[in-house]
Homo-oligomer: A and B are copies of this chain.
Amino acid sequence: MCAIVGIYGNENAARLASLALFSMQHRGQEATGISSSCNGKIYTKKDRGLVSEVFTDEALSYLKGNMAIGHNRYSTAGGDSILDAQPVFAKYKLGEISIVHNGNLINKNEVRKDLIDNGAIFQTGMDTENLIHLIAKNTKDRLRDRIKEALTKTIGAYCFIVQSRSKQFVIRDRYGIRPLSLGKIKSGGYIVASETCAFDLVDAEFIRDVNPGEMLIFSEKTDEIESIQLFEPEFRPCAFEYVYFARPDSVIDGKNVYQTRQNMGRTLARNDAKKDFKADIVIPVPDSGVPAALGYASESKIPFELGIIRNHYVGRTFIEPTQEMRNIKVKMKLSPMKSLIEGKSLLVIDDSIVRGTTSKRIVKMLKDAGAKEVHFRVASPEIKFPCYYGIDTPTQEELISHRMTKDEICEYIQADSLEYLSIEDLKNSIGSDRNYALESFDGDYFVTK
């Protein structure tokens, strides 16, 4: 996941960047950071924690300048995660740069090995360091040419924003796998952000999406943004953004996320209608299952009900339940609405099933609350393959759909029936007018250049 943002040409650049990151907090809660540029110097502040915790007034007043880039980090394994926070800053031959990155480089290890064999050092595990090295090794005179050449050696699903002392370079990979949109800030200047939901708080108007393979260059003449098509586009946006990642009020590459999720629910309903299947009520697994459940209800005319309440006070530090209180973790987050559920046949909609353990606990919780039947519907196809394009999925072994058939999973989670969307259904729900990155579902790891 992760979120990136760039603000260019606004005197409140760092403050606007922090508001944009705040709007994209759902894409990463572990760490956050911003680099601003002012008078030829780059200022960076990054730390563990939420945007609202890290970016105090004091921190923002340190981040001087009318341009800024920022990042929310999803998670890292290991002990000292602050070292893996972004932006990554470095001095190199042409001066200072700072980079934020969202995505995953496929040939990271090969490039890294090659760089290391030639004497480079790597201080973190981040892909971003690769790009900085490739830029620094290069001998071109202009940063834009160095970036361009660096990217010819970089295979992956990525969005980068590179900030120098006076410019910003925004790059989206040729497949456009990760989303990236451009907006105009009413109080001046431009914003580039992973999701359009970031535009609202900074009071910006959507201009267009960054094109696959495009590099935008912001420089002091802010009234014209330079655009260079670095690579021939082969558009394959990530279907998972629509299924799960993006905030429902974002528009990703022209498709309204909320609407696509409703379509997924409608399709599930139509599939059930073909089999004449009908439950008593439709209930979402909150919050991400809500739009699909609304779509299902609307299509099927089965009443939509909030049968599960989500508790938003779950903190990070609460007591670990004792042995006899097992299974309590899911109940601390989700509570069944007994009176609605009792004696009913439920159509429960979640966005996806990964390991299966949460789904199993939800079914048990609903049955304990008196549900007569629990019919589980998943607003995505079966996840059979790990994603290597920027999503932190488990190993293939951990994916329940890799190990079990649909029927076996239905038995494992103790549901009365289980249905997924087909891959075709998913494509049609988002929009049949284009090709999607679907590697988690079909194993087509198409990123090769």
Contacts and interface: CB of A to CB of B under 8 A. Distances in A.
A428 interface: no
Given A92-B116, A336-B249, A319 B123 contact: no
Contacts of A62: 79
A314 B53 CA distance: 10
B318 A22 contact: yes
A360 B332 CA distance: 35
Contacts of A251: 338-339
B120 A123 contact: no
A123 B258 contact: no
Interface stretch (A44-52, A373-381, A440-448): A44-52
Contact of A319 (B56, B247, B328): B56
A275 to B, nearest CB: 25
Most buried by B among A26, A45, A93, A112: A93
Interface string A322-357: 101100100110011111100000000000000000
Interface in A7-37: 12, 15, 18-19, 22-23, 25-26, 29
Between A291, A318, A332, the greatest number of chain B beta carbons within 10 A of the residue's beta carbon is seen for: A318
A62 B79 CA distance: 7
A45 B83 CA distance: 10
A290 interface: yes
Contacts of A82: 47, 82
Q: Which of A44, A88, A258, A322 has the most CB of B within 10 A?
A: A258
Copies of this chain assembled into the complex: 4
B79 A313 contact: no
B123 A88 contact: yes
A291 B313 contact: no
A239 to B, nearest CB: 19
A70 to B, nearest CB: 14
A340 B138 CA distance: 48
A311 interface: yes
28 contacts: A18-B319, A19-B325, A22-B318, A22-B332, A25-B311, A25-B313, A29-B313, A50-B315, A52-B317, A90-B123, A91-B121, A92-B119, A92-B121, A116-B136, A119-B133, A120-B136, A121-B133, A200-B335, A201-B328, A247-B309, A248-B337, A249-B309, A249-B335, A249-B337, A249-B339, A258-B306, A294-B304, A294-B306
Given A46-B80, A51-B313, A83-B89, 10 more contacts: A19-B328, A44-B83, A51-B318, A52-B314, A53-B315, A56-B319, A89-B123, A92-B121, A248-B306, A249-B337
Which 5 pairs from chain A and chain B are nearest by CB? A52-B318, A52-B315, A119-B137, A90-B121, A256-B339
